[in-house]
Structures are given as structure tokens and as C-alpha cells.
Amino acid sequence: MKTLHKHILVIACIGALTACGRSVEQQVLSDTGQNAILPLHETFLAESLSLSQATTEYCGLTERGEQALAALRGRWVGAMNAWEGIQSFQFGPVTEDNQAWKVQFWPDRKNLISRKTEQFVQRNSAITLGALQNASVVVQGLSAIEYLLYDTPAAALSATDVKGGDRYCQHLQAAAQNLHHVADFLYSSWHPDSGNYLRTWAKPNPDNLDYPDEQASIAALIETLVYGLERIKRDKLERPLALLNQGQANTYLLEWWRSKQSREAILINLHSLQLLFNAGGGEGLAALLEHHNGQALADNINTLFDRAVGVTASIEGSLFDNHGDGDTQLAIIQLHGLLGELLGALKREVPAKLNISLGFNANDGD
């Protein structure tokens, strides 16, 4: 009954919007931008600032200790979670100039993060923001900070004799500051008062190279959902946990294995992708599907998202430690299946229903 009311409301809104001269597609783009994209980027901006401030505070302490380190780790988790909210974006500022790499270097098959971070810290010259920005992306972002806070440097960072951890602290501060700069670039690039990529995306026109028409803007949104889900299924589950073959799991390929936050990252991914699908409670892709007689499909996708979130939340402990446990294995297999169903719906059924093409040459393989 509740669902019926929601549908009636959506149809009424769509009718009213059309009467006002704004197409359903325009409303979908506007609502998704205002209710989902901007808030997700704003959260990353706020959390990165919080982390940067916390590192400055931490490194200024005369006695650091385990408790202060735990608090700083908490701020890192906040920033990492906020990044997971926008990690899947396949359009907009995050795709420019290696921004995503500046934030996260993963997967790291060759353990470059450890090697390059140590090299960066142990060199003779001063560790400054400028030096960090001129160095490899490997030492710049959340991945490097995770190494500093959770791997070998953590002992030096929290030691009673703070001098031993000074170089690490300088790196920590520069990396957190740089992360905040990237987050600021991303947010301001989207924001109407600055770069206004929101307008570029939500107001397509034939001279707009990225979005010559509304179909292109909506396709970008669907591609982000597809990419985000594929990334979870393939890179965050199948590959590290050897789901599709008889090989051994390699938990060092899990995302955020050092901090054991792999499960949480998947949870945030799913939440933010569902938020995008529903335009944060506004008129999103779900409403557009309803407009195209795809109400059942929209409901099914939301149900699958809900189930995937539920299964992920039910996993106890970390994937790094518990991936081999019976209950965890069962949940991972369930989650994997649900992701497959979601991908099927978003890759095939949604584009067909909306008469949208998700790429032509990209699917070619020739």
C-alpha cells in the first residue's frame, strides 16, 4: 500500500513537472545532481578536511600514544567511507587528470605503497605538500595514509618518543592536506558557484561534447552504477577471494586490507549507488523507469539493492580475517549472486526500457 502511494505520488509529480515544461529526464538529472551527487561530494570534502585537521592536531601532540592514534584512524575511516561514496563515478571531475589515483592506489599487486612510501619518507629532502604532489600518486592518497596509520609506521607514529615518527607525521600531514585539495577540486568542480559541472551534465546540448543530449547524461549515470557494481563483484570479491576458480584467495588484494575495512567499503558503495539510482529520494532513474512503464523493474532493482546491503551488513568481522568462515562464505556467495542480478538489470533491462545505449565501440572487442 505504501508502495502504491509512492507510485501515485511519482506519477502525479511527473505529470505536474511535464505541465511546467520540464521533461522527466531534466528532472531526473536535476534531482540526481542536487540530492545525490553534490551531497556525496560535499561529504568527501568535509571528511577530508576533518582528517587533515586531525593529522595536524595529532602531529602537534607532545605525547601521541595508542589512544590518539585510534582517534586519528577514526578520522581516516570517515574520509575513506566518504570516498567510497563517489569512487564509482565514471563521469565528471573525478575522471580528470588521474584524480581517482591521487585518492586511492588499488589493487597494489607489487606492494608499491609500502615500498614507495618508505622511499619517500627516507629521502633527504623536506617532506612538503609540493614534494608530495610531485611524487608518484602511490604516496599521495588514502592508500598511503592507510599504510602510515595501520602498517609498520604506526608504531613509530604512536611511540612515546615522538621524534622517531616525525618524518612519517610530515608525510601524513602532506597526504591528508593533498587529499583535502583533491576533495575540494572535485566538489568545487561540480558546484554551481564554481566549476558547475552539474550544469554541463544536467543541461545537455548538441555543442556539449560530453553530453550532446539527455540520453547521454542518463547513460553516464547508468554506466556509473554498472561500473560500481562490477567493481564490487569483480575486484572486491571475485579476484581477492578466488570466487570463480579453484585458486587460493589472496586477501592482500582486498580493498583496505590493512585497516580491514573491505566489508564496510562495499556497504558504502551499495548505499551510495542506491542513492544515485533513487536521486536521494527525489525523481531519479527509478522514477524515470516508472515513467517508461518500468515500475516493476525499478522495484526489483531497489529490492536487490536492499538485499545486497542486508547480506553485506550481516557479515561479521572483516573479510580479511573471516572470508573462510562458513557463514561468511555463504554471505559472500549470496552477495555475489545479487550483484550479478543487479548488473543484469542495469546493463540490459534498464537501457532497453529507456532506449539508451551504454556504449557501442566500448563493447566491440575488435
* Interface of this chain with other proteins, residues 76 to 95, rule: CB under 8 A: 90, 95
13 or 101, CB closer to other proteins?
101
Q: Which is nearer to other proteins, 98 or 152 (CB)?
A: 98
Q: Are 146 and 256 in contact (CB under 8 A)?
A: yes
Q: 306 — phi, psi (to 5°)? A: -60, -45
User: Least distance to other proteins from the beta carbon of 364, Å?
Assistant: 6
Inter-axis angle of helices 65-86 and 142-150, to 10 degrees? 160
Asked if residue 118 binds other proteins (CB under 8 A), the reply is no
Q: Which is nearer to other proteins, 184 or 210 (CB)?
A: 210
Q: Pick the closer one to other proteins by CB: 95 or 194.
A: 95
User: Which CB atom, from 50 or from 143, has the smaller least distance to other proteins?
Assistant: 143
Whichever of 62 and 355 has its CB closer to other proteins, that residue is 355
C-beta atoms surrounding 46 within 10 Å = 16
Among residues 167, 234, 307, 353, the one that binds other proteins under rule CB under 8 A: 234
Q: Please name which of 24, 359, 82 lies closest in space to residue 222, comparing C-alpha atoms.
A: 359
Site string for other proteins, 195-224 (x = CB under 8 A): -----------xx-xx-xx--x---x----
Closest distance between other proteins and the C-beta of residue 237, in Å? Answer: 13
Note whether 247 binds other proteins by CB under 8 A: no
**96 part of the interface to other proteins, by CB under 8 A:** yes
Q: Collapsing DSSP states into helix, strand and coil, what is residue 78?
A: helix
What lies within 8 Å, CB to CB, of 197 at 6+ separation is 92, 93, 189, 190
Q: Decide: is 111 part of the binding site for other proteins (CB under 8 A).
A: no
- 109 sits near other proteins (criterion: CB under 8 A): yes
Q: Report the half-sphere exposure of 259 (CA within 13 A, side-chain side).
A: 26
Residue 232 and residue 262 in contact, taking contact as beta carbons nearer than 8 Å: no
Of 54 and 135, which CB lies nearer to other proteins in the complex structure?
A: 135
Which three three-digit cell numbers place residue 27? 528532472
Residue 160 makes contact with other proteins by CB under 8 A = no
For residues 81 and 227, give the distance between their C-alpha atoms in angstroms, rounded to a whole number.
Answer: 18
Report how far residue 249's alpha carbon sits from residue 242's, in angstroms, rounded to the nearest whole number.
5
Q: How far is the CB of 216 from other proteins (least distance, A)?
A: 6
Q: For the residues of 292-357, what is the DSSP string, one character each?
A: TT-HHHHHHHHHHHHHHHHHHHH--S-HHHHTTSHHHHHHHHHHHHHHHHHHHIIIIIHHHHHT--
Least Cβ distance, residue 88 to other proteins (angstroms): 15
Q: Is 365 in the site for other proteins (CB under 8 A)?
A: yes
Does 63 bind other proteins (CB under 8 A)? Our answer is: no
In the bound state with other proteins, the residue whose beta carbon lies nearer, of 42 and 238, is 238
- Secondary-structure breakdown of the chain: helix, strand, coil percentages, each rounded to the nearest 5: 75, 0, 25
Shortest Å, Cβ 218 to other proteins = 13
Nearest approach, Cβ of residue 215 and other proteins (Å): 9
Using CB under 8 A as the binding rule, whether residue 239 contacts other proteins is answered as: yes
For residue 80 the three cell numbers come to 575513506
By CB under 8 A, how many residues form the interface with other proteins?
30
| 187: exposed, middle or buried (Cβ count in 10 Å: 0-12, 13-18, 19+) | buried
Binding region for other proteins (CB under 8 A)? 90, 95-96, 98, 101, 107, 109, 136-137, 206-207, 209-210, 212-213, 216, 220, 234-235, 239, 253, 355, 357, 359-362, 364-366
